[in-house]
Amino acid sequence: MDDLDQVAEEGHYEDEDTRPTSRKELWGWYSYGWAAEVFAICAMGSFLPITLEQLARDRGVLLSDKKTPCNAGWQNGGDTSPAGRTVFDLPKHRHNELPPCVIYVLGAEINTASFAMYTFSISVLIQALLIISMSAAADHGRFRKTFLLVFAFTGATATALFIAVVPKVYLLGALLAMIANTCFGASFVLLNSFLPLLVRYHPSIDHGRSRGDLLPDDVRQREDDEGYDEPEDDNLASSTSALLPRDVSNETPSTAVISPELKLSTKISSNGIGIGYIAGLFVQAVAILIVVATGSTTFSLRLVLMVVGLWWFVFSIPAALWLRPRPGPPLPTELTGHSGWVGYVTYAWKALFKTIGHARRLKDLVIFLCAWFLLSDSIATVSGTAVLFAKTSLGMKTEALGLINVIAMTAGVIGAFYWSFVSRVFNLSASRTIVACICLFEIIPLYGLLGFIPAIKRYGVFGLQQPWEMYPLGAVYGFVLGGLSSYCRAFFGELIPPGFEAAFYALYAITDKGSSIFGPAIVGAITDRYGEIRPAFVFLAVLIFLPLPLMLLVDVDRGKAEASTMSLELEGKRQEIDRDARYTAIPTIVLSEEED
């Protein structure tokens, strides 16, 4: 047994693992971000939507006559259109627009672009229901690591299996996409649940006495040699909830006292984000090279998704080897009346409704959550809509679509840092900075609507009529997203009752994850109605605008006062609230001194 492991004292509940966090365990946690973030960036961000659209197109018929195949190549089992041209060189309408195509699913006529949007909406719905239902397993019992690996390897396998999805079985592609996206979301909930444990038992955390006094000399010397660094990042956020997303940049706590746990949590979380982004950018570059080398065919798209799936699978193995199971406290079945899976699911949903019941009493928090629901939906919907619009309406090739994603990601990193500079220079509050981001975000759909103006339409440039126009708009999208992702969380933190951050941040995360059900489905319905995506820009413009007046209605001072009042009311019942809300903080473990 490792010497560090011998220092751990007996747990406060059966199977509790209080061994100090090792460097290997931290790298196991980081490795999963390196593995899975590639799916979010490369698959969901660019290649999965266009693969689904192309598979459906290869099997669809022209909207104009409902008879002519959009791509005759599938009839012969090929991946290219007649005359040897690739699927991206089909005869174009004006402005390089691909001819609208439809497929028939269960007798319903669906535009091929809508097919991808509907698939995404359904997958988000399933993901949201699963995340809520299994969230108790992330904090209780011994299933945390097991489920993480099951979801990881299942999602990775589903993604890699796209290599076998030919146009004749395009519905299988939709099923695999739903499985992969659902597993991705569920696995990150479980990954996030490890973070407070890694922080709690990290050797750098002082639990009431000097840790050096608690360790044998040889173990203490080993820690010094391994170089456990003290946390340095002062931009902080609560990270005690399994449902808390890992994007915690540019956040400030509501209290002036900064705990070492929060500092270390932010440092570990920020490292994980950076590692995941580096992996995503690297694989995105490799994917673009693969597409170029293989001729931009449907097979190219499937090959890229296989590479993404294999990357996810292979780099999940270090997490399987190095992460400790870290069982949580047993589920208090007396609160649910059930044991087993029924108890876990019942416990999770009761916790959610308990938090919602408290949130309803906080007027400004509710207004903000409504604004965040709409804003989060618009962020996800614009991303998917833009990729499909660029492919179907502008005829952009796959490598060009991948480049848009690279530009957006780079701009997002810049925006995460630059918006704080803007807010300081112009003396903007968090709410005003969010409003500024929304106004800039509104430029994207409004610019697309310029294409309906006859004079601009005849000119053939501006109003998203040329492929090159997607690149600056991609930069705008990324830049805005970098600001919104940090400032919205920080602003929400100001409205939370002090001491109950975990449960309310869980509600914030569920609102974020569940909002994306509606936007893509509505865009899909609009596309089916009009035969093209551009009319959906009207809906996107409205969707982005709606959060703006809601944000202006939020009174921060009033919200803080309401939150403080509720905190005082609930403080006497903290044990019950924490237990019912499922997010009981891990108790501080004071290590017992070792006898020489």
Q: How do residues 476-499 score in pLDDT, each as one tens digit?
A: 998 998 788 778 877 887 788 876
Q: How do residues 368-413 score in pLDDT, each as one tens digit?
A: 999 999 998 999 899 888 888 988 888 888 888 888 888 988 888 7
| Helix intervals (H) in 495-595 | 501-515, 518-530, 536-545, 547-553, 556-571, 574-580
Q: What is the rounded CA–CA span in Å between residue 267 and residue 275?
A: 12
pLDDT of 163 higher than 50: yes
Quick one: pLDDT at residue 592?
A: 35
Confidence band for 36, pLDDT divided at 50, 70 and 90: very high
Quick one: pLDDT at residue 549?
A: 93
Q: How many residues are recorded in the chain? A: 596
Confidence band for 132, pLDDT divided at 50, 70 and 90: confident
- pLDDT greater at residue 38 or residue 89: 38
217 within a domain of the structure (yes/no): no
Confidence band for 573, pLDDT divided at 50, 70 and 90: low
218 within a domain of the structure (yes/no): no
**H or E segment and range at residue 376:** helix 363-392
Quick one: pLDDT at residue 361?
A: 83
Neighbour-count burial for 327-344, b at 16+ CB within 10 Å, e otherwise:
bbbebeeebbeeeeeebb
CATH of residue 325: 1.20.1250.20
Mean of the pLDDT values across residues 457-473? 88
Quick one: pLDDT at residue 423?
A: 82
219 within a domain of the structure (yes/no): no
320 within a domain of the structure (yes/no): yes
Q: What is the rounded CA–CA span in Å between residue 236 and residue 255?
A: 11
What's the number of domains the chain is made of?
Answer: 1
Residue 271 domain boundaries: 19-206+238-580
Quick one: pLDDT at residue 500?
A: 67
- Other CB atoms within 10 A of residue 57 CB: 31
The encoded tokens of residue 360 equal 């309803």
Quick one: pLDDT at residue 27?
A: 92
Sign of the Cα pseudo-torsion (212, 217, 223, 224, in order): positive
Sign of the Cα pseudo-torsion (441, 444, 447, 449, in order): negative
Instruction: Give every CB contact of residue 376 below 8 A, 6+ residues apart in sequence.
Output: 511, 512, 515, 516
Percent residues over pLDDT 90 in the chain: 24
6 within a domain of the structure (yes/no): no
127 within a domain of the structure (yes/no): yes
Compute the mean pLDDT over every residue in the chain, rounded to the nearest whole number.
Answer: 77
Q: How do residues 65-93 score in pLDDT, each as one tens digit?
A: 888 888 743 333 344 433 333 333 333 44
Tell me, what amino acid is at 473?
L
Quick one: pLDDT at residue 410?
A: 86
Q: Is the distance from CB of 312 to CB of 38 less than 8 angstroms?
A: yes
Quick one: pLDDT at residue 522?
A: 93
The encoded tokens of residue 439 equal 């106004």
Quick one: pLDDT at residue 502?
A: 59
402 within a domain of the structure (yes/no): yes
Q: How do residues 324-364 score in pLDDT, each as one tens digit?
A: 887 777 776 555 555 667 777 887 788 778 878 878 888 88
Give the three-state DSSP class for 485: helix
8 within a domain of the structure (yes/no): no
pLDDT of 588 higher than 80: no
Quick one: pLDDT at residue 334?
A: 56
Q: Cα dist. 259→199, 208, 234, 238, 255 in Å?
A: 11, 13, 10, 10, 10
Q: What is the DSSP annotation of 166-182? A: -GGGHHHHHHHHHHHHH
